[in-house]
Amino acid sequence: MFQHPRIRTALATAAVLAGAGVARADVIDGDWCSTEGRHFSIRGPNIVTPEGTKTEGNYSRHSFSYTIPPSEPSAGTQVFMVLLNEFTVRLRTGTDPAAPAQIWKRCDQTS
């Protein structure tokens, strides 16, 4: 259908760029909300905690961990997060793997 090489190249480039936009959503960076109305934000190694404190943590594309800062309740406790899908994070506080996990959702654009 598209015999002209420039048209084929343009369509292929557009397809790659469209796919790249979708892939970028599959990162833990962003704004996360709980069903109780709490919120935190991750931008690379930086986090604004649910208590509103800016601090740094251990960042990877699909996970994040940090130590709760001294100014917050439960100071010194480790928090571990894993991206389950582009809209869901599982959060666990403390080092006990049997501790209950919390599920946080990517915040709505309107919230």
Q: Is residue 8, in this structure, part of any structural domain at all? A: no
Residue 101 DSSP class: P
Q: Is residue 18, in this structure, part of any structural domain at all? A: no
User: Rounded distance, CA 101 to CA 25, Å?
Assistant: 23
> In this predicted structure, what is the pLDDT of residue 93?
96
Q: Is residue 12, in this structure, part of any structural domain at all? A: no
> In this predicted structure, what is the pLDDT of residue 23?
39
Q: Is residue 15, in this structure, part of any structural domain at all? A: no
Q: Is residue 80, in this structure, part of any structural domain at all? A: yes
Domain that holds residue 64: 26-106
**Which of 81, 85, 86 lies closest to 63 in space, CA to CA?**
81
Q: Is residue 36, in this structure, part of any structural domain at all? A: yes
CATH number at residue 30: 2.40.128
pLDDT string in tens for the chain (111-residue length)? 556 555 544 444 444 444 433 334 689 999 999 999 999 999 999 999 999 999 999 999 999 999 999 999 999 999 999 999 999 999 999 998 888 999 999 998 654
Number of structural domains in the chain: 1
> In this predicted structure, what is the pLDDT of residue 6?
57
